[in-house]
Structure 1
């Protein structure tokens, strides 16, 4: 097991670091100012023009669609370091290189399970960065941490599927560029537990698909939004089935392995930037007659943060290596583990950085408040901690 970056990975990571430092970080203030002017208006979810400018620059630098091995040639292990660097600016950088959630998972799903017609209509424009997409699984009425609980009904009527149900926390739906929804629901409630669900493609303009509201996260409204949907007698052609009928649960599991590598490495990037900010603050700020960096309690916070980041990174790199070697099925325990370990680590490290910054950390003067919000939210996204802990325990007990 060797985590020494290949020459290709080292080159991509170096170029990504330069892109973030030279283009993305300087663009953050303008991005936030543009959005602040539109907060509370119907234009709140419009895309700041600087992002399209950055996308053009990223493509010129060869930093585009790096998450998909069949296109980039990068393994999961090689891409992991690039994803970490993008986490230094999690709002802008991933989209600038077309490696943003939930589109990466949706593109992987279409790549693996889509028909040639589905790929041409939806995957190709997603890969070009022309549209965005959403994954509609979570529901307000049931514990969606168990995907078999979903109640949305998908019934076949002749050559169409008729869909009825509610979804919420559907990331990306507020952005009008979101043109396609992958919707999970039950096609056969009487089938075996893991064969009841299917996934269908629902275009945004389909009659009966209604966006009820956009949900804030700790008061934040992301540019792409997290929305609640109502589907009332939504009709799509049978040809919009993704994969096979009854295969929805398997499809949902297939899209999560590499996606959790991406999430976790971006979180590590956020934690690294939090430490960078914490160290600078500690060196510049004076309290009780000396810089914070000379206070023992602050030194301990910095040291613990470094140790915890390094531990988490090694576990994620091991997981990426296992996926490359044995597929996601062979790394099931590790995939579940990183989904618990890394968000918890990021929350802790970012919280320490906030303490060192004092009241400034709760404002928009630093990215720390947003970082904490996103790190905390990721303890729910793709399944809460408790589900993954349960999974690790079951596998560990099974070995004995």
Structure 2
């Protein structure tokens, strides 16, 4: 077992770290970063800077114009990008585009890749992934899908409602999950300016780090040609897992960078701030919180690296990515929560970036499956494995 980072990836990490420090962090207070995330104008400026630095869309294949990073390499680079809440936007590795790019690389036809994927890898377009629905529709349980797709000649007509669709406002295209007449699910590709799609509103949310915010979409007999089915008809639920297992891990990578940023700020503050005759860090209560932060950060990183290594070996990593998602989302949240406590008044105001990190990160325990759903899924697999072993 070798934990050494290869020289080329170490060099890429340093380039990314320098880029984030010099080109991205200075834009964190830009007024174009509003309640529903960075504006399209700010996104384009960030993307242009990453493109000039040779860091744009590093996870995409070389064929599509990316750097073709392995999962382990992504773990290293994505953490560095996540050190700023604008870093993933700059490198074009933010959700939902990062997961959509991965899915399109795996499933889309050559024509679909040229039409939708290549411009996205170049940072020219954005996308959204329309699966989540209001009750009684699909949420943590995708099988509750209520949006329907009905065959009409050479086309499909899609009708239904979606909400909490990240990046919907301003997205150029969408991947839409819909239920077929036989009860299976299919993914469809569609431009967002089609007459059958309506953005009803953007939802107010705790986080504001995603361009386009979180939208409520209405589909009213959206006509999609059969040629724009993503993958095979009826395989939507399977493709969702193709997308979600790596995507939930890249969430862990990016948020690890934010948690590390919060810890660095708190450590610096606790080392300088005096109280009761000595620096805060020398008080046992604060010192223990800093030590616990280091433990949680290291544990999260090991979960990420191990799962990334499994994915690089060609394993599905479903169980391990669920375990990593729970462990990382909760460990990284604990780190940021402790940082708020250490910083006191500076932790609950915008005097430091920690307040924004705190607000953005809370939703991570819900995105790509709440912790409870992953624990439930893991428990079922553990029991099944134990029963299988008992039967010989």
TM-score (norm 2): 0.92
Q: Is the 8 A contact 1:179 1:204 kept in 2?
A: yes
Q: Aligned match of 1:253 in 221, 232, 241?
A: 241
- 1:115 corresponds to: 109
- 1:378 corresponds to: 364
| CA offsets 1:207-266 (integer angstroms, 9 cap, x no match) | 121111111222758542101111111112121111111010111110112222211011
Q: Aligned match of 2:204 in 216, 219, 223?
A: 216
2: CA distance, partners of 1:357 / 1:313: 24
| Inter-CA distance 172–265: structure 2 relative to 1 (3 Å threshold) | same
- 1:336 corresponds to: 322
**Root mean square deviation of aligned Cα:** 1.9
| Inter-CA distance 222–10: structure 2 relative to 1 (3 Å threshold) | closer
SS in 1 for 2:172: strand
| CA offsets 1:269-305 (integer angstroms, 9 cap, x no match) | 1111111011111122222333211211000000011
Q: Shift of the alpha carbon at 1:202?
A: 1.9
Q: Shift of the alpha carbon at 1:66?
A: 1.2
Q: Is the 8 A contact 1:77 1:324 kept in 2?
A: yes
SS in 1 for 2:205: coil
Q: Does 1:24 align with 2:18?
A: no
Equivalent pairs counted in the alignment come to 382
| CA offsets 1:104-143 (integer angstroms, 9 cap, x no match) | 1111221111122211110111011111000000001235
- 1:144 corresponds to: 139
Deviates more, 1:351-360 or 1:389-398: 389-398
Q: Is the 8 A contact 1:180 1:203 kept in 2?
A: yes
Pairing of 1:116-195 with structure 2 (within 5 A): 116-141=110-135, 142-174=137-169, 176=170, 178-188=171-181, 190-191=182-183
Q: Is the 8 A contact 2:95 2:210 kept in 1?
A: no
- 1:99 corresponds to: 93
| CA offsets 1:36-76 (integer angstroms, 9 cap, x no match) | 5xx69xxx863244x43332332232212211355423210
SS in 1 for 2:140: coil
Pairing of 1:232-251 with structure 2 (within 5 A): 232-251=220-239
- 1:64 corresponds to: 56
Q: Is the 8 A contact 1:183 1:199 kept in 2?
A: yes
2: CA distance, partners of 1:219 / 1:388: 22
| Inter-CA distance 365–348: structure 2 relative to 1 (3 Å threshold) | same
| Inter-CA distance 220–7: structure 2 relative to 1 (3 Å threshold) | closer
Q: Is the 8 A contact 2:161 2:217 kept in 1?
A: yes
Q: Does 1:228 align with 2:216?
A: yes
- 1:78 corresponds to: 73
Q: Aligned match of 2:191 in 203, 222, 226?
A: 203
